[in-house]
Structure 1
Amino acid sequence: MHERLAADPAREVEETLLSRPGLRIGRIVSSGQASPPGHWYDQTEDEFVLLVAGEAGLEIAGEAVPRRLRPGDWVHLPAHCRHRVAWTQAEPPTLWFVIHHAPAAP
């Protein structure tokens, strides 16, 4: 299954599965990739992340240590929650499902 998803293990593969106004569902296959040094994601939408296969370390601003994610683990990142990928397992590849959605109205 993963061989089909990650044709080039030297690069991360990101695919949008469904996109609607205020909603985007995607799949990411990582093979040892991490966020570039000093790069933090700071998104305008909320993000729900489900780790399906492999393992990863997710750094969240304000937390002392990266969260270790294993299959079945999930995290909800509110809009503007700064985060970065510290590391991903290369073999087997790390498979993520992500849902980006509009933040809830206050």
Structure 2
Amino acid sequence: MAEAQLQQFLEKVRQLNAFVALSESDPVLRQALCDCSDHHGVVALARSHGFEIGRRWGETDPPLGGHDNLLTPPCPAPGQEITRVLLEQANWRLERIHSCQAASAPDFWYDQSDHEWVLLLQGSAQIAFEDEAQVRQLCRGDSLLIPAHRRHRLVTTDPAPGSVWLALFWREACGC
């Protein structure tokens, strides 16, 4: 582990320990922590008390500039996604999708004629498949193959800085 990563890790541990100590001494804060339903709620609660615990292990601040960097474009508005085609040929395309607290409409299911392989580069997401009882939990580095016509929907993605995906779409005739 590089020294900079070690310092980042140790600072997060210090912030977490201080937040835990405060929550143990403050019953109102402890109850607010108990009422949090997910990681984002805990991060927001900690931030409201001056603690920065949201950065996940290994995440760094994106470099300034660098339009070709997949993680540097600004985050879309909450509830939105921005899609950009990176490469495209006759039977396939590669897209960058940046989601911010995005979700499919309650009764909407994707039913695509293309196969889709996604890789989550940043953030986390939940995806539901019509034929599965459990929602899939994805985090940074997870990939998922979605065969053509397998009905699925986006349950949620992270708030700012959002979730960043690489999505490869192809038709059976691709020969890839």
| TM-score, scaled to structure 2 | 0.55
Correspondence for 1:58:
127
**2:118/2:145 contact within 8 Å kept:** yes
SS in structure 2 at match of 1:81: coil
Residue segments in structure 2 that go unaligned for 5+ positions in a row: 1-61, 63-70
Number of residues of Structure 1 aligned to a counterpart in Structure 2: 104
Distance 1:35 1:104 in 2: 29
| TM-score, scaled to structure 1 | 0.89
SS in structure 1 at match of 2:172: coil
Correspondence for 1:36:
105
Distance 1:18 1:102 in 2: 15
**Greater CA drift, 8-17 or 61-70:** 8-17
Structure with greater proportional strand content: 1
* Residue 103 (str. 1) matches residue 172 (str. 2): yes
SS in structure 2 at match of 1:97: strand
5 Å-filtered alignment, 1:20-35, equals 20-35=89-104
User: After the TM superposition, which segments of 4 or more aligned residues of structure 1 sit over 3 Å from their partners?
Assistant: none
Shift of 1:19: 1.0
Correspondence for 2:86:
17
Which of 140, 146, 149 lines up with 1:77 in the alignment? 146
Distance 2:90 2:74 in 1: 26
RMSD: 1.7
State percent identity of aligned pairs. 35
Deviations 1:10-57 (A, max 9, x none): 321111101111101000001101111111110111000111110000
**Greater CA drift, 95-104 or 27-36:** 95-104
Distance 2:148 2:112 in 1: 6
Structure with greater proportional helix content: 2
Deviations 1:65-91 (A, max 9, x none): 110000111110111010110000113
Q: Rg larger in 1 or in 2?
A: 2
